[in-house]
Amino acid sequence: MQGSTRKMGIMTDVHRRFLQLLMTHGVLEEQDVKRLQKHCYQVHDRNATVEKLEDFINNINSVLESLYIEIKKGVTEDDGRPIYALVNLATTSVSKMATDFAENELDLFRKALELIIDSETGFASSTNILNLVDQLKGKKMRKKEAEQVLQKFAQNKWLIEKEGEFTLHGRAILEMEQYIRETYPDSVKICNICHSLLIQGQSCETCGIKMHLPCVAKYFQSNSEPRCPHCNDYWPHEIPEVFDPEKEREAGISKSNRKSLRSRQH
């Protein structure tokens, strides 16, 4: 594990409530994480200053280290939103996904994962996934049932569905990046900028390097003549918009007032 250079932090009820509630989400966007943090301070330590989120989380992670889990921060591949999830650092016999799904369902996920990784776009069509239903381990599954299982994966934020095609949710990438890189070392794609696992992104048509959409946005920010960082050829794709936390906050204030009235059910 990371060396003992990290001083072990202290848990208080603020941190405990935060952890408990964070665990009820598979994955959570940063602004909701901040809301959650603020809520926990309100309940237990009203007058204290809310610690900077990064430090707050680092503190908790230093305690979680001995349990081989951590609160990991990532970024959504399609629009660059920061997200957080509690992930396993060691493969043990216990994992969230394995305890929620049956053997054949896990195998279906594995098949979908392979198709997604092998694809050019990072998306696998529902049809292609369902065609593999006969090859699944465990109890026999019909296509109709498999369709519902795929929906279950989407609801639980392991997959994202877009127009009949499936890709990996940020949650799955956070949880499984290490596993994916080791299991599929030949077909896995890596972002040229951040060097992390890449499922969705843009590629240079000349030399083939790939970049995440948020990485593209940041790298080519206010650059009128974007060029491939590797081969210097003209970058042929539209540069996407960067996720801006400031703009989101203003929009978010009115959004969260409405959100808290809706019941949060999954």
| Count, residues near other proteins per rule CB under 8 A | 66
- By the rule CB under 8 A, 253 interacts with other proteins: no
Closest residue by Cα to residue 7 from 63, 53, 50: 63
- By the rule CB under 8 A, 31 interacts with other proteins: no
3-state helix, strand, coil in the chain (%, to 5): 45, 15, 40
- By the rule CB under 8 A, 1 interacts with other proteins: yes
221 by Cβ neighbours in 10 Å (0-12 / 13-18 / 19+) ranks as exposed
Q: Is 193 left (phi over 0), alpha (psi -120 to 50) or beta?
A: alpha
- By the rule CB under 8 A, 36 interacts with other proteins: yes
Measured from the CB atom, the residue of 121 and 178 that comes closer to other proteins is: 178
Residue ranges in 50-109 that form contacts with other proteins under rule CB under 8 A: 63-64, 66-69, 72-74, 88-99, 103, 106-107, 109
Closest residue by Cα to residue 22 from 48, 50, 53: 53
Task: Specify the stretch interacting with other proteins by CB under 8 A; choose among 38-46, 116-124, 161-169, 208-216.
Answer: 38-46
Q: How many CB atoms lie within 10 A of CB 86?
A: 21
The answer to whether 84 and 39 are in contact (CB under 8 A) is: no
The answer to whether 85 and 27 are in contact (CB under 8 A) is: yes
Smallest gap, in angstroms, from Cβ of residue 207 to other proteins? 17
Measured from the CB atom, the residue of 144 and 262 that comes closer to other proteins is: 262
Q: Which of 53, 194, 217, 242 binds other proteins (CB under 8 A)?
A: 194
- By the rule CB under 8 A, 265 interacts with other proteins: yes
The answer to whether 1 and 60 are in contact (CB under 8 A) is: no
Smallest gap, in angstroms, from Cβ of residue 221 to other proteins? 20
- By the rule CB under 8 A, 255 interacts with other proteins: no
Q: How many CB atoms lie within 10 A of CB 216?
A: 24
> How many residues does the structure list for the chain?
266
Residue ranges in 104-143 that form contacts with other proteins under rule CB under 8 A: 106-107, 109-110, 113
- By the rule CB under 8 A, 211 interacts with other proteins: no
Q: Note the residues at the interface with other proteins (CB under 8 A).
A: 1-2, 11, 13, 16-17, 19-21, 23-26, 28, 32, 35-36, 39, 42-43, 63-64, 66-69, 72-74, 88-99, 103, 106-107, 109-110, 113, 175-179, 181-183, 185, 190, 194-197, 260, 263-266
